[in-house]
Amino acid sequence: MVTPARSRRDRKKAAVRAQILAAATELFSRHGIDAVTVDSIAESADIGKGTIYNYFDTKEDIVVAFMIDVERKVQARIHRFAKSNAPLHSILTDFIRFQLRLKRPHYKFVRVFLGQILLRTDQSLPYLLEMQKVIDPPLEALFQTLQSRGLLRKDASVPELIIVFKTIQMGLSILWAVEGPPFRQTEKTLVQEIRLFCQGLEARTS
């Protein structure tokens, strides 16, 4: 049983964490990740520097935490896509649309984040690997459910599909970041690439 005091404490901790993330992502969006210090994040969030270290070891951890939070929101909705009655290509297209829609309010930050990955792959690798721990399970659940429902070929290798699908996602995310609103070319490319990806993957009907 959760006591009222613990519940209040948890809500307060969540609020402070959200405050840190909001301040940090705003600064990262305006100045880039390298130019922002923990001191400047603390000042912007109106909290002590030590408080930030109670939640995050480094500013890079803040970046990872924000992106993981977005992916967890996708994970929370995975059942909706897995149970859809739409064709395979429509399900996967809608899945990526949903991810991009969640990121759109934070477009400037995501653009900076992707730029950091492309320019400094070696430095970014540790927190990219950390993100995969959150990204891969919902994708695995999605493809396995689609297989069990007969929408995806039984002989398709789920681990291989995840690798290819994430490569497509990354390419589309980069296009999305470069193009900017209203993302018309991204939408067109998304539809085309997922249709190509799904060719031959649909379960064969007798």
Query: Average pLDDT in the 25-51 region?
Result: 91
Predicted TM-score (pTM) of the model is: 0.83
Q: Return the DSSP state at 77.
A: T
Is the predicted pLDDT of residue 57 greater than 70, yes or no? yes
All domains of the chain in start order, with CATH:
1-56 (1.10.10.60), 58-198 (1.10.357.10)
Q: Return the DSSP state at 7.
A: H
| Tokens (6 digits) for 202 | 């649909």
- For 182: left if phi > 0, alpha if psi spans -120 to 50, otherwise beta; the answer is alpha
Is the predicted pLDDT of residue 206 greater than 50, yes or no? no
Residues in Cβ contact with 10 at an 8 Å cutoff, skipping those fewer than 6 apart: 2
- What count of other Cβ atoms lies within 10 Å of the Cβ of residue 203? 15
Across the strands, what pairs with 202?
A: 152
CA distances from 6 to 9, 20, 35, 47, 55 (A): 5, 21, 37, 22, 18
Q: What is the DSSP string of 13-43?
A: HHHHHHHHHHHHHHHHHHH-TTT--HHHHHH
Give the dihedral sign, CA 61/67/72/75.
negative
Query: Average pLDDT in the 16-42 region?
Result: 91
| Tokens (6 digits) for 163 | 């690798």
In whole angstroms, give the CA distance from residue 186 to residue 178.
10
Query: Average pLDDT in the 101-113 region?
Result: 89
Is the predicted pLDDT of residue 5 greater than 70, yes or no? no
Return the pLDDT at 149. Answer: 92
Is the predicted pLDDT of residue 2 greater than 70, yes or no? no
Query: Average pLDDT in the 27-44 region?
Result: 91
Query: Average pLDDT in the 163-179 region?
Result: 94
Query: Average pLDDT in the 1-24 region?
Result: 81
Contact 118, 144 (CB under 8 A): no
Return the pLDDT at 203. Answer: 73
Q: pLDDT digits over 88-101, tens only?
A: 999 999 999 999 99
Q: Between residues 78 and 157, which one has the greater pLDDT?
A: 157
